[in-house]
Structure 1
Amino acid sequence: MSGIYIHIPFCKQACHYCDFHFVTSMKHKNRVVAALQEELRLRSSEAKNTSIETIYFGGGTPSVLESTAIDAIIETVYSNYQVIADPEITLEANPDDLTPEKIAALAKTKINRLSIGVQSFFEEDLKLMNRAHNAVEAMECISLSRKRFPNISIDLIYGIPGLTDDRWRENLFKAIDLKVPHISSYALTVEDDTALKTFIEKGIIDEVDDEQAQRQFNILLDTMQLHSYENYEFSNFGKEGFFSRNNTAYWTGKSYIGIGPSAHSFDGKRRAWNINNNVKYLKAIEAGDLPQETEELTVVDRYNEYIMTGLRTIYGVSLSHVELEYGSKFKEYLLQQSTNYLKDHLLYLDDDTLRVTRKGKFLSDGIASELFMLNLNS
């Protein structure tokens, strides 16, 4: 067992691009906190004889919770699970929540890492995305947080309509100047059933430009490399000693328990996910039931997931692991499917490991899909 993910399904307002599960009403907040604690107790047997290495509060916006509620959830984990001596305990937070008082209160809990949803240091970008904070709060909260939390990460988004390359560089330089040790950076994507998609369809916002996104991704790579950040996963850059242990566990196939409405779990061979409805989740947990669906992963499913995650990381795809875990047929298929990408210098073989080149990074998900096995007769 590697970690526990805890989904906090509340936000002050809806970001235009977000398709994660959340509500803006805080009506059931206290009941949800109690239900999260109860689910942790109900599922403790899933981690029997294993240790918890990471605890991650995601959402939604976990920082809308009072520090006492966060502390109570963490203590429930400690009371029902075996936790290692130095776990990574991360809280996702929005800049507008990180007042000096809130930061001081969080520092009294076992939280030892903040992941701050900055997205941009510029007002025009924040307004387009309908973020709850402003540019001043984005800058100030990082300076304040670093005094209490040496281990912080921020999110930045590129490919935003109207975001010039120069302004994108300035976003990166601001983060570097603030001595942020970890940066997660994502291309703006247009998801179904979001306000962003509606605004684009109505012509209110310009369409997302793939060429702009790829160009700004390359600016990101160059800037991060110049300032000694390791691109250890496609969207993640860390200084030495500051890689996210939680995220690395996902990408390397470790198991985790997902707590809360819409949260997913993985035990190595099976996935499970909770219902993405707060009221139905509450009723089930309060009745002592788990509102879960499950899926047994086939060997093909597990191979495909390994290819997808491996190519996105510095760890790559081990040919010997593929053969040992999935069989020689899979290794032969992988090498066959990789031939053209190796010739085009999008992939390369490093001894026993298949990795993406700099040229292939932005295309890594598409390349991975071409290496997938559709069925054992492929």
Structure 2
Amino acid sequence: MRSAVLHRSGSVRPYAASAPLKLEELTVPTPRAGEVLVRIERASLCHSDLSVIDGSRPRPLPMALGHEATGVIDDVGPGVIDVSPGDHVVLVFVPSCGTCRACDAGRPSLCHRAAEVNGSGDLLHGPAILRSCHGARINHHLGVSAFSEYAVVARESVVVIDDDVPFAVAAMFGCAALTGMGAVLNTAQLMEGQSVIVFGMGAVGLTAVMAAAHLRGTTVIAIDPLEQKRELALRCGASVAGSPEQAAALVAELTGDGVDVALEAVGSAAVMESCLALLTRGGALVSVGLPHPDQSITTQALQFAGAGKRLLGSYMGDSIPDRDIPRYLDLWRAGDLPVELLHTDTRPLSEINQALDDLADGLVVRRLFNMTG
């Protein structure tokens, strides 16, 4: 099978010239106990993939990248009895073990075992199974490695969906929708009539806008430096959209004394600090972006106890995939979650390095890849 493999992080731009991802022939793996083989139909490029390539998110290399995808189950390993070949699935990048402290607490997105194996490039039920044609180990990306024609994943990494959901839609539910929608509905628990400001109109920020906009009477302020992203945010349901320089004035105009929720989907410590200043008393900052590990925030400590402000981390939107993906697909069917607006285009996998530059430049929101191209 063909797969996009990263051998060295910290590549310099333009990526189209340095070509950090190499299309290589890997051996199609056979699923072991507790695993399934998925034929990848569509995979999409996410900033988290870019973070591995530029070194912001160190991972063991070589690694077959890609973590947001949809496909069809081709085979199942021993002990897998609740899914079958032919089932359409969305792949999920946190394969919760179901028994650790976080899973017992109903927070599978923070599964301890999943964090361990995702960090080591292994799978939930065993060591890395991907191999080059010469037998060399290739690490898995977040238990998925979706920029491949096939992926062996843990059974816990797939959610079965109805066959009528187009692959171009389903592909965005494994990361963007889970993270953005979940940050608003699960982490922040935004309520009808409240106000929210969202920084960063990538796919996660835009799905957060959609989630907030579908609640009755909410005020949704979208912030991004790029005009085309702000225009897209308005189409996704934002009440108003502006540049970072306009954020404070928009909050003052629309809320008077600050927003109930500020959502940071940029990956910037500086933006997190500015978000805290825009909160009303008792408001919550939800951190969704992935800043470089070297970044830190400095803020007045008194505003937490003195003004009741909260700083909430949100990984995968605090989602429970088996519950939330069907629920979000219902919102899509009702027209309340128009993720089609995020689909920039579909390209062959051979163009993936150029796509890295386009994503870094803000020219695309979600570029999908057809594994047969």
Larger Rg: 1
Higher share of residues assigned helix: 1
* TM-score normalized with structure 1 length: 0.23
Instruction: Identify which of structures 1 and 2 has the higher relative contact order when contacts are C-alpha pairs closer than 8 Å and 6+ apart.
Output: 2
